[in-house]
């Protein structure tokens, strides 16, 4: 018979830090964020309060004379994608939008991705908290029950793209989330 060893409370798993409290558990990735910031020389950059400037209008890179940083850009987007899918749902939309330009990014796309880095610098200590008691969060009284929210914007006025988002929560924390964007085609009916 194999012997079991109690290693105590978990503190980290695959780069995700776990903080256990009396009535809650929080997952976050401040050390991972610091490593991304150092890799892209953004550790001394000024933080911003939003992942993307709402006034920015990105479009495909049609100027072939611009330097193509696709490998570096793809690596940055991949790093941000991991962060967005593990502990930072707040950047999921921005990262998904920027990932659409991975094949041929321009300097404008790279600058927008660095804006997301500046945002995560400001929110590096944010995480997802799960509460032990159901009265600590919005939703059903049964803490074993999960609930979700969804939203869709059809034919966005700026670029005619369909954007849908969802999040499912349990015990006050997100357990799954996503953003999907697609071209929207609206046929003319006579």
- Per-residue pLDDT of 26-35, as tens digits, reads 999 999 999 9
- Per-residue pLDDT of 59-116, as tens digits, reads 888 776 555 556 899 999 999 999 999 999 999 989 988 998 888 888 899 999 999 9
Q: Looking at residue 77, what is its pLDDT?
A: 95
d(CA 26, CA 16): 10
Per-residue pLDDT, averaged over 22-50, amounts to: 93
pTM over 0.85: no
């Amino acid at each position: 018979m194999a012997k079991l060893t109690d290693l105590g409370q978990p503190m980290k798993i695959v780069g995700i830090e776990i903080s256990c409290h009396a009535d809650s558990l929080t997952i976050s990735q401040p050390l991972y964020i610091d490593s991304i910031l150092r890799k892209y020389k953004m550790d001394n950059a000024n933080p911003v309060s939003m992942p993307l400037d709402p006034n920015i209008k990105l479009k495909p890179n049609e100027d072939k004379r611009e330097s193509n940083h696709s490998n570096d850009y793809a690596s940055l987007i991949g790093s941000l994608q991991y962060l967005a899918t593990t502990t930072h749902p707040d950047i999921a939309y921005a990262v998904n939008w920027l990932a659409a330009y991975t094949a041929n990014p321009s300097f404008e796309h790279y600058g927008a991705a660095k804006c997301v880095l500046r945002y995560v610098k400001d929110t590096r200590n944010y995480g997802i908290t799960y509460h032990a008691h159901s009265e600590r969060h919005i939703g059903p009284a049964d803490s074993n029950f999960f609930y979700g929210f969804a939203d869709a914007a059809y034919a966005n006025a700026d670029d005619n793209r369909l954007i849908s988002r969802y999040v499912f929560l349990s015990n006050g924390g997100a357990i799954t989330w996503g953003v999907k964007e697609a071209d929207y085609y609206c046929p003319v009916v006579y």
